[in-house]
A = this chain, B = another copy of it.
Amino acid sequence: MGFFPKPTEFFDLFEKAANNILHGARLLDDFVSNHVDLEEKLKKLEDVEHVGDQITHDTIELLNKTFITPIDREDIHSLVSEMDDILDLIYGTANRIVLYKVPAPGVDMKKVVKSLVRAVEEVSKAVPRLRNMKKPEMILAQCIEINRLENEADEALRMAISNLFERETDAIKVIKEKEILETLESATDRCEDVANVLEGIVLKNA
């Protein structure tokens, strides 16, 4: 009916997922900073995305055969689903850049990517702290920081789009670049969703 894995197995999977996202975010940073070998880099990002899918799948499977979980089942489920969404959007950004034949990203897009990388870094530092919830202050502080970074990314996005309207008169180009910027911003939004899940877990278990 169910079996008792080591509770650390879940935390191991969370950490694997968080590190994988960070890997993806850094690949994306390289992708927009060094605008060469795009097809090859996109392929790498696709692999990272598949690894993410596998981790999510493994977690759901572990959840399904586990009788007693270290944190609430629905929280485990939300956490891995939300983390998976971040990676989908990271890959989706790079995919769009290639598909839409967008020229080398400008300074504004690079800035939004940097914001995203920093938000993902915080996520990747906060997630492993779930192993020790006796000291919730650290995770909560990081969740506040992720929220702050998300607001910053929002501002960066609005500035980027505003600048885009100033400099670009070709509407089709505006549409393309705007969509890519918004995909990036959605990825940062998902970081905030992960922070919300973490916050919820900590507030419940501390």
Pairwise interchain contact B92-A203, C-beta atoms closer than 8 A: no
Chain-B contact segment, one of A29-37, A57-65, A119-127: A57-65
Pairwise interchain contact B196-A77, C-beta atoms closer than 8 A: yes
Give me 22 A-to-B residue pairs in the complex whose CB atoms sit less than 8 angstroms apart, sorted by A's number. Answer: A57-B144, A60-B140, A60-B199, A60-B203, A64-B140, A64-B202, A73-B200, A73-B204, A77-B199, A77-B200, A77-B203, A81-B196, A92-B154, A92-B158, A95-B158, A96-B158, A99-B158, A99-B159, A99-B162, A100-B162, A169-B172, A174-B175
Pairwise interchain contact A176-B165, C-beta atoms closer than 8 A: yes
Could you say which residues of chain B place their CB within 8 Å of the CB of A92?
154, 158
Question: Which 9 pairs, one residue from A and one from B, show the smallest C-beta to C-beta distance?
Answer: A171-B171, A99-B162, A63-B203, A77-B200, A74-B200, A73-B204, A171-B172, A73-B203, A99-B158
Complex formed: what's the CA distance from A63 to B200 in Å?
10
Could you say which residues of chain B place their CB within 8 Å of the CB of A128?
none
Could you say which residues of chain B place their CB within 8 Å of the CB of A99?
158-159, 161-162
Complex formed: what's the CA distance from A171 to B165 in Å?
11
Pairwise interchain contact A172-B174, C-beta atoms closer than 8 A: yes
Q: What does the 1/0 interface line of A177-206 toward B look like (CB < 8 Å)? A: 011000000000000000010011011101
In the complex, the chain B residue whose C-beta lies closest to that of A57 is B144
Complex formed: what's the CA distance from A73 to B205 in Å?
10
Could you say which residues of chain B place their CB within 8 Å of the CB of A77?
196, 199-200, 203
Could you say which residues of chain B place their CB within 8 Å of the CB of A63?
203
CB A124 to nearest CB in B, in angstroms, measures 22
In the complex, the chain B residue whose C-beta lies closest to that of A157 is B92
Q: What does the 1/0 interface line of A147-167 toward B look like (CB < 8 Å)? A: 000010010001101100100
Instruction: Given A99-B162, A199-B77, decide whether A206 and B140 contact each other with a Cβ distance below 8 A.
Output: no
